Chains A and B, each alone.
Chain A
Amino acid sequence: MNVKSDLFYTKDHEWVLINGDTATMGISDHAQGQLGDIVFVELPEVGKTVKIGDTLGVVESTKAVSDIFSAVEGTVTDVNTALTNTPDKVNSDPYGSWIVKMKFTKKNPELMDAKVYSEYLKEEHH
């Protein structure tokens, strides 16, 4: 299971890249593996404001749907519209396939770094 070292992770298996007051989010390698072949990514509107844990969008495979929960409080500044036509990129390159960019004021205090997330995955698997 690929866990990228410079990212933070949520318990719901989103990854977050923090850069100043900008957070970039996607779903982890583990999450894409659980979902299977992804066929659709529903993106939020730019300008939408959310709290921690609010739904930002949805990732769909043929057999399952998974909400993307926001790891931060803030405003959506950009969405990866390329995923609309190539949702399978989330499977082949989960860390290269960002889904939303947010300008944030607060982040989830329970974010895990790569080491803790790797442990979390092991635990969840048992």
Chain B
Amino acid sequence: MPYIPHTNDDIRSMLETIGKKSIDDLFTSIPSKYRLKKDELKLSTGLSESDARNEVEKLSDTNKRYQPNRRFMGAGAYFHFIPSAINHITMRSEFYTAYTPYQPEISQGTLQAIFEFQSMMTRLTALEVSNASMYDGATALAEAVLVAYHFKRDKKKSVIVPKNLHPEYMAVLKNYLSPFGMNIVSVDVDNKNGFVNSDDVKKLMGPDTFAVILQSPNFYGVIEQNAAEIAKTAKENDAVPIMLTVEATSLGMFKPAGELGFDIAVLEIQSFGNPVAFGGPHAGVIVARKDFTRNMPGRIIGETKDVDGKRAFVLTLATREQHIRREKATSNICSNQALVALRSSIYLTLMGEDGLKELSKANYSLSHYAKEALSKAGIRSMFDGISYNEFAVKFSSGAVRDKVYNGLKSEGFLPGYKIGEDGLLITVTELNDKAGIDEYVKTAGRYSK
């Protein structure tokens, strides 16, 4: 039997020590009418490792994998270059076969790595306290809204949410907020530019508003250029401004939440060294100003000293968490996406200050090159606002959009993500190159005629 080291003699002698005749005698507390017979489960019989490998590889081979420079799809999960060193380090089993660092004496590796992760997150966002990561960006955003709600002492019930928020994030937010009887107030998007105007936010702001969300780059890839003013408006009205960034590599060039006056930043960190992997595991993180420290959900690692005065790291502020607060807890999360956070830390360490900046610029350059080339080929952008590595285009009809989409696919391109009736969200990262883009544009142009 795989992974079970017992010999028959072992089992016999152990039963003898216990004083039972058979293993079945150990299960007498399960009422006999519910006991299963051997082989009663309708599962197949076990496979050898090589047969299991063949089975699973067959499934993986059934999936369609596009060449890296022919992938133009993003919309919340991004194809980026992943340095080889990341897999090699995360596959060290002292990291991946460990559990939550409850015993700091033998968990300094995980603890220090996450402390470093938190430090990198505060720097990226120009804020002061970060948690150790959460399930993903969407759930982190929902939890951040609850942080704001509790921070305003549960008194106010309205949160302002832009219409250019990632639709899946919106759906998760609705689900998380449903037990609290809150109002989700939608704010319009500027038709021409694709970003939110601060006047539109001002109009909706009321005494019941406890938070304002902004996503930048937003779902259409546009940078929210009124972010600072919107944050200011929120604060003047006693609401918490929350900035969501789903494409985290944009922080290598664009102003971070803290500098724009936001109290809370929520990031999806998949882009930092994690594969798209059919949607997960990815990870989210909440970063905030100091005042929010004790309202933060999830784990936080803190620096301290041990009995000998050495620097050491521990899980801290544990009283915020469910295992102590039980029914008084404000979140039930009791884990983090530790290994995803570790990958992100390693990624940022390898890229470094200059590397991340270069990466952002490459994303910006390549995607703007593609945007302009498409425009010249008659495929126009939906919005004029400044974008990062993603932009929406609009076709003359749904039929034309579908013709272009299918045509690109038939020639080996992952074309983008269909939005609305006749739009396409196109993503260009450093994995794309000029030659690939040129061909994409030519192909798209051909099918759009």
Q: Which A residues form the contact surface with B (CB < 8 A)?
A: 39-40, 42, 45, 60-65, 67
Contact = CB atoms under 8 A, between A and B. Distances in A.
B319 A40 contact: yes
A26 to B, nearest CB: 19
Contacts of A42: 294
A64 B318 CA distance: 9
A67 B324 CA distance: 12
Given A61-B319, A62-B319, 9 more contacts: A39-B319, A42-B294, A60-B319, A63-B318, A63-B324, A64-B324, A65-B319, A65-B324, A65-B328
A64 B153 contact: no
B12 interface: no
A62 B294 CA distance: 13
Interface in B318-344: 318-319, 324-325, 328
B248 to A, nearest CB: 32
Contacts, number: 19
Nearest to A61: B319
Contacts of A67: 328
Given A40-B294, A42-B294, A45-B153, A62 B328 contact: no
A39 B318 CA distance: 11
Interface string B107-131: 0000000000000000000000000
A63 B325 CA distance: 10
* Residue from A42, A63, A65, A67 with most neighbouring chain B CB atoms (10 Å): A65
Contacts of B328: 65, 67
B408 to A, nearest CB: 57
Nearest to B153: A45
A84 B328 CA distance: 21
Nearest to B293: A40
Contacts of A63: 318-319, 324
Contacts of A40: 294, 319
A114 to B, nearest CB: 30
Contacts of B318: 62-63
B101 to A, nearest CB: 15
Interface string B384-419: 000000000000000000000000000000000000
Nearest to A67: B328
B326 to A, nearest CB: 9
Report, nearest first, the 7 A-B pairs whose CB atoms are least far apart: A60-B319, A65-B319, A65-B325, A65-B324, A64-B324, A40-B294, A62-B318
13 contacts: A40-B294, A40-B319, A42-B294, A45-B153, A62-B318, A62-B319, A63-B318, A63-B319, A63-B324, A64-B324, A65-B324, A65-B325, A65-B328
A40 B319 CA distance: 10
A64 B326 CA distance: 11
Contacts of A39: 319
Nearest to A42: B294
A118 to B, nearest CB: 29
B191 to A, nearest CB: 43
A82 to B, nearest CB: 18
Nearest to B316: A62
A40 B153 CA distance: 18
Nearest to A59: B319
Contacts of B294: 40, 42
Nearest to A64: B324
A45 B151 CA distance: 12
Contacts of A61: 319
B437 to A, nearest CB: 54
A61 B153 CA distance: 22
A61 B318 CA distance: 9
Nearest to B325: A65
A45 B152 CA distance: 11
A61 B325 CA distance: 12
Contacts of B319: 39-40, 60-65
A64 B323 CA distance: 10
